[in-house]
Amino acid sequence: MQKDRAAIAKKKFGQNFLKDEAVLAQIIQSMPDTPHRIAEIGPGLGDLTKYLVDVKSVTAFEVDTDLCKHLTHQFADAIATNALTLRCGDVLEHWKSELLDEPYDLVANLPYYIATNIILKALADPACRNLLVMIQREVAEKFSAAPGERAFGALSVITQSV
């Protein structure tokens, strides 16, 4: 029996699918109560997306063409009602100046190799009003370090100046 290609995490994209229902529930509960659209980067198999579309309108950005096909099929109803807009391709290509042309809250489970770039772009994007991202501990420490701490550096200064 062949496994569904979409269900296999691809190393080249740094994919790590978020499946833990308790974590998914915490993310939904942690979201700010705003009228803004949600930009979800890397919806993967749609485990978080299925909860997000129940709460707000979502624009999801997925680089993996196999996952785009999977998400298009899985969320056909949400796409038809405009609860979900799916954009396939590299989010950085979509993000020339502003990710969306309206205020949005960013939600993402980011792989190590692109987390810093995405967070810096979001911090610089005037349309991005809130960030709720899951990142590796080392990246989080670099963004949140205080002066004198080992992880303190340019990312800490940038984050604290926003």
Give the CATH number of the domain where residue 78 resides: 3.40.50.150
Q: Is residue 125 part of a domain?
A: yes
Look at the pTM and tell me if it is higher than 0.85. no
Helices 137-144 and 154-161 meet at what angle, rounded to 10? 60
pLDDT tens-place string over residues 7-39: 565 555 555 666 678 888 888 888 889 999 999
Residue 86 lies in a domain: yes
Residue 6 lies in a domain: no
Structurally, how many domains does the chain consist of?
Answer: 1
On whether residue 154 sits in a domain, the answer given is: no
User: What tens digit of pLDDT does each residue of 80-111 get?
Assistant: 999 999 999 889 888 876 788 899 999 988 87
79 domain residue, yes or no = yes
Q: Is residue 9 part of a domain?
A: no
Q: Within a domain: residue 60?
A: yes
Sheet of strand 37-41: strand arrangement: 84-88, 58-62, 37-41, 104-109, 128-134
Residue appearing with tokens 């940038």: 158
160 in a structural domain: no
- The pLDDT tens digits for 3-14 are 455 556 555 555
pLDDT over 90 for what percent of the chain? 41
Structural domain of residue 90, as residue ranges? Answer: 18-136
Q: Is pLDDT at 63 greater than 70 in this prediction?
A: yes
Give the three-class secondary structure for 37: strand
**What is residue 72's predicted lDDT score, i.e. its pLDDT?**
95
